[in-house]
Structure 1
Amino acid sequence: MENTKSRKQPSTVFAVVSFIAIVAVLIIMINLGVNTTLSVFAGVIMAVIVTALLGIPWKETEKNIISVAADCMPTFLIVIMVGMLVGIWMASGTVPSLMYYGMQIISPKILVPLAFVLCGLTSEFTGTSFGSVATMGLAMVGIASTTSIPIPLVVGAIVSGAWLGDKMSPLSDTTNLASGVSKVGLYDHIHSMMYTTLPAGIVALILFTIAGLHYGGNMDTAQQQLIMNTLADNFHISLILILPCILVILISVFRLPSLLGMGLAVVISTIFGLVFQGVGFVQLMDYAFNGFSIKTGVAIVDPMLNRGGVLSMSELLVTFMIASVMGAIITTSGILDVLAKNVLLKFIKNKSILVLVTLIYCYIVNFLTAGGQTVAIIVTEQTFETTYKDMNISRRVLSRTLEDAGTLSAPIVPWGVATIYVMGVLGCSNAYIPYAWFIFIVPIFSMVCAITGIGMWDADEKPLRTKKA
């Protein structure tokens, strides 16, 4: 009882100052060049100070941390499996074969838009942006290395496509989560998202096509041939070796658990490595843990191939754990509720502003929880559900808006788990963020719908297009 009495409710000023302080610490440390993991840990310290000032018992905070950690465990294990898979796919010749045939078929002029489309389709079929980045995305980066196209641009297209497909896939966890918490039918939710996602996807594709035509004209043919010859000299190249990628897609289509699917892919890829590449079992297991390593004698090829392994994901895993802790502590403090109810909700005068505020709140939650999509979707839905009901707006609009910002903003949070994942798997910096055009375009169409009434419905599912938004 004493702990309950001593606990303070955060005031509006306290919540705003706390939010600014935590974000400022994260931004300053990252801009100073401090390791992202340590920067997020500094955010944890700031969050702990906030809860201490509010008199929140540590046991309550600890309970929430354990709960969040348990929820994050499946994703944690998937990241480990992806590390293993990439290492073995390199050793078994799967990724080298994708790169080899990709260089033969794909013109540099269409590489950027093709990366956007193929990664989108991969995510749509598998329901996972992480899997799309680690498979099709990895191959596209390898192919792009032989061209004059800036790698951040290619990665921006990969991320855009991967999160587009994830957002629209009925197999995706975020798609099911957003529709579930909003109490909207899955396919009603997907239909609603088409009003913002489809036009944004078309605009993004046009932009990526223009950028690809601009940068893709120059290709070092000699360098490309050197890379292809090097791959052929060091691996048995075959279309059969691409089967593990197809297997991952098929497993997802048949809705088998992601961990089971990746586990089967690891087993089959290991067999392929033994049979087609002649690599010993112990060596393959070493590649799965430590990452693939080879010295081809060609400087440009080695960095393309030497990646993967559980250890390559170690920074991501540690950051993931620390970010989960930060998100749990911030949620426990109650400052998110105060920011919503005492600040953002006061600005809501009409339907357009309601959608805008919902988008902003999703961004706030994602930036405070290091790209925690699940937290952003759940917390935002709980915060705004009543307001949407009071303003007679369909739950389909709410569920769509949760994904337009809550799902899509994850890979553009500089200290976020998704961003670190992309950087780790593709071997790039966060310089790709400004090129993830699709992610920035979708909220624009969210507001276009809100203002015009197109793709807006009332609580009885009647169109609001002819009504004032």
Structure 2
Amino acid sequence: MTEKNIIKPSLFMAILPIILTLTILGIQLFYYGDFTPHIPLAIGIAITATLGWFRGYRWDDMEKGVMHVIRVGLPSIAILMTVGMIVGVWIASGTVPALIYYGLKVLNPEIFLAAAMVLCAVVSVSLGTSWGTTGTVGLALMGIGSGFDVPMYWTAGAVVSGAFFGDKISPLSDTTNLAPAVTGVNLFDHIRNMLPTTVPAMLIALVIYIFVGFNLIGSNEVDFSKIEAITNGLESNFNISLLVLLPPLLVIVLALKKMPALPSLFAGVLAGALLAIFVQGASLHEIFNFMQSGYKIETGVSEIDGLLNRGGVQSMTWVITLVVIALGFGGVLERTKCLETIITAILSRVKSFFGLQASATGAAIATNLVAGDPYLSIALPGRMFAPAYVDKGYSKLNLSRAVEEGGTLISPLIPWNAGGAFVITALGLGIAEGNIENLLYIPLAFACWLSPLIGLTYAALGRFSPKMSAEELDRYQREEEEISENKTVEVRKGANMSAKHA
């Protein structure tokens, strides 16, 4: 039986592998208290493939789907490995220690959370990468927060809010480019249409962080002896100067010149390596070890040792393996048409624009949950929902905003998603070691979950919900005609080939 002859699964059969996988995942996380979602997701691939087999698919078909989606995620894996190198080398070069040092000197507990969010937002917009911002500036902010006795989950929430804000509206971001690409809208129109939800979400988050800073964190006694011990320890073990801040500056300049993210980040690795050799006195062999296995130091100050003993490609192994397995799960669900069946069922029940917008956002969130990949959560609903917006006369800018908010912004809030797994590892939240309380960063990343809620409120009120223009409708019809013509040509070619064989 060929794939074309296989009937789409019923809604029950489409949901069944997801329910079974989430059940196994829940047992692992909540019953056993073991935060390692890798094996449950791998079992989910087996469950989905087995059900697909009984419906007529063969392993070769499903393997192609798995490998296709994994290949789509390879750029993310490359960035993960590069960020691992950056963390190790930028600690060795004194870049991260200098950021912590100057932060402790300049900032104060009252404004720390608000300043952390704003700083991460500025850097993320400049770099176009939430992961790069989280793994570098975010890591330094975790150290500053530790010096101020700010709970890790509060600092992580502020970092995630700021970093993923930039990933949502930066024209250099891959996901910000992906959303308009799959929905067929202009990039800068897409960015402008996201501002009505993004700006209020950031302002509300900023007010909350300021309030918490002055009323909860600022009311605590600051242990200045602890801060002094950290700054003295950093000065004793590193040459602290403005010179060591050149690597992040270089990466920002390259990003502003519209260099791709991966070479820009790797240039930061090389710049950090040179500073580590010529400023901090590291050897070339040590640099290679820092890139591979991370930085190692014993200063006698537990806060410094706990923060700076990290980085390297190996530190990303947990995340990379999780990303590969999650992508594989999403790939087999897509190839066996389970995700398509679920989305089609949702669309058949949608009557209003609000229902359509809620369904698109929810589909992106659900894909994030079950497939573990922010790219698939944007691409799949973006492709599937586009005709429904045209039918109702609404601009596909509403769709691009919905999938961006349900995809990019929700990704870091799901621990087994590529975004969430990276945040947990890069910020050293220690979830795998049992520090489950640090998962509180999820509700405290206010900007990430407020933005979709504001977007749905607008849809209910009919505000900032543009209708389809005559130009956009004309462009959509021309694209559909081109697709139809291409399909006709392919059918004719196939018929001619069959006639020749006959």
**TM-score scaled by length of structure 2:** 0.88
**What does residue 365 of structure 2 align with?**
363
For residues 57-72 of structure 1, the aligned pairs below 5 Å read 57-72=58-73
* Alpha-carbon distance in structure 1 between the residues aligned to 2:37 and 2:134: 20
* Cα distance, 1:9–1:283 mapped onto 2, change above 3 Å: same
CA deviations on 1:327-347 (whole Å, 9 max, x unpaired) are 1111112111111112x2233
How far did residue 6 of structure 1 move?
7.5
Q: 1:461 to 1:423 in 2, by over 3 A?
A: farther
Q: Distance in 2 between matches of 1:406 and 1:449?
A: 18
What is the deviation of 1:44? Answer: 2.2
Name the counterpart of 1:217.
Answer: 219
CA contact (8 A) 2:374 2:419 kept: no
Distance 2:48 2:441 in 1: 29
**Secondary structure of the corresponding residue to residue 318 of structure 2:** helix
Query: Equivalent residue for 2:126?
Result: 125
The residue aligned with 1:164 is 165
TM-aligned CA deviation for residue 206 of structure 1: 1.1
Superposed counterparts of 1:385-400, under 5 Å: 385-400=386-401
**Which letter does structure 2 place at the counterpart of 1:233?**
S
Q: Does the 8 Å contact 1:395/1:459 carry over to 2? A: yes
Pair 1:284 & 2:277 matched: no
Q: Output the CA distance in 2 between the equivalents of 1:231 and 1:4.
A: 61
Q: Give the root-mean-square deviation of aligned CA atoms.
A: 1.6
Deviations 1:266-308 (A, max 9, x none): 1111110111111111112111111100011122220011010
For the residue of structure 2 that corresponds to 1:427, the secondary structure is coil
Could you tell me how far apart the structure 1 residues matched to 2:208 and 2:54 are?
A: 48
8 A Cα contact 2:164 2:409, kept in partner: yes
SS at match of 1:301: helix
User: Partner of 2:457 in structure 1?
Assistant: 448
State how far apart, in whole Å, the 2-side matches of 1:201 and 1:284 are. Answer: 39
Structure 1 residues 49-107: Cα deviation after superposition (integer angstroms, max 9, x where no partner): 33223221111111122222222222111111111111011111110001000000011
Aligned residues: 459
Aligned to 2:334: 331
SS at match of 2:181: helix
Computing the radius of gyration from Cα coordinates, the structure with the larger value is 2
Partner of 1:141: 142
Q: In the aligned structure 2, how far is the partner of 1:432 from the partner of 1:256?
A: 32
Q: TM-score, normalised by structure 1?
A: 0.95
**1:212 Cα deviation after fit:** 2.0
Counterpart Cα distance in 1 of 2:250 and 2:388: 44
Counterpart-to-counterpart distance in 1, 2:270 and 2:211: 41
| Pairing of 1:268-307 with structure 2 (within 5 A) | 268-307=271-310
Distance 1:347-1:3 versus aligned 2 partners, 3 A rule: closer
Q: Which amino acid aligns with 1:23?
A: L
CA distance in structure 1 between the aligned counterparts of 2:41 and 2:413, rounded to whole angstroms: 15
CA contact (8 A) 2:3 2:61 kept: no
* Cα distance in 2, alignment partners of residues 461 and 103 from structure 1: 55
Task: Please name the residue that 1:308 is paired with.
Answer: 311
Q: Which amino acid in the other structure matches residue 404 of structure 2?
A: E
> How far apart are 1:41 and its partner, in Å?
2.0
Alignment pair present for 1:33 and 2:33? yes
> Alignment partner for residue 257 of structure 2, among 251, 254, 258?
254
Deviation at 1:5, TM superposition (A): 8.1
Could you report, residue by residue, the CA deviation over 1:131-162 in whole angstroms, capped at 9, with x for unpaired residues?
A: 11011101110000112321111101111111
What's the offset of the Cα at 1:48? 2.2
**1:442–1:461 distance in 2 versus 1, CA, 3 Å:** farther
> CA distance change for structure 1 residues 46 and 413 in 2, over 3 Å: closer, same or farther?
farther
CA–CA separation in structure 2 for the residues paired with 1:6 and 1:341:
19
> What letter matches 1:126 in structure 2?
L
Unpaired segments of 5 or more residues in structure 2? 432-438, 472-502
Measure, in 2, the Cα distance between the counterparts of 1:15 and 1:24.
15
Match in the other structure for 2:23: 24
SS at match of 1:459: coil
Judge which range, 58-67 or 24-33, deviates more: 24-33
Is residue 374 of structure 1 aligned with residue 383 of structure 2? no
Partner of 2:477: none
Matches within 5 A, 1:96-245: 96-213=97-214, 214-218=216-220, 219-245=222-248
Once the two structures are overlaid, the 10-residue window that deviates more, 206-215 or 17-26, is: 17-26
CA distance in 2: counterparts of 1:58 and 1:6, whole angstroms? 16
Deviation at 1:426, TM superposition (A): 0.9
In 1: Cα distance, 2:401 partner to 2:422 partner: 25
Amino acid at match of 2:302: A
Taking the aligned partners of 2:208 and 2:371, their CA distance within structure 1 comes to 31
Task: Indicate if the aligned counterparts of 1:108 and 1:217 stay in contact, CA closer than 8 A.
Answer: no
Shift of the 461–366 alpha-carbon distance from structure 1 to 2, 3 Å rule, reads farther
Counterpart contact for 1:178–1:403, Cα < 8 Å: yes
Determine the C-alpha separation between the residues in 1 that align with 2:465 and 2:76: 34
- Equivalent residue for 2:484? none
- Given the superposition, is the C-alpha separation of residues 251 and 5 from structure 1 closer, same or farther in structure 2, using an over 3 Å criterion? closer
Structure 1: 5+ residue stretches without partners:
463-469
After the TM superposition, which residues 343-362 of structure 1 pair with which residues of structure 2 at under 5 Å, given as runs? 344-362=346-364
Find the aligned partners of 1:27 and 1:436 in 2 and give their Cα distance: 23
CA distance in 2, matches of 1:3, 1:267: 50
Q: For the structure 1 residues 137 and 327, does the alpha-carbon distance in structure 2 shift closer, same or farther, using more than 3 Å as the test?
A: same
SS in 2 for 1:431: helix
* Other-structure match for 2:10: 11
**Separation of aligned partners in 1, 2:104 and 2:279:** 21
> Which sits farther off after the overlay, 387-396 or 214-223?
214-223
Aligned to 2:43: 42
CA–CA distance in 2 between the matches of 1:431 and 1:201? 19
* Percent identity of equivalent pairs: 33
- Tell me if 1:406 matches 2:407: yes
Q: Secondary structure at the match of 1:145?
A: helix
2:308 corresponds to which letter in structure 1?
Answer: L
For residues 371 and 249 of structure 2, what CA distance do their matches in structure 1 show?
A: 34
Report SS of the residue matched to 1:297. Answer: coil
CA distance in 2, matches of 1:170, 1:3: 42
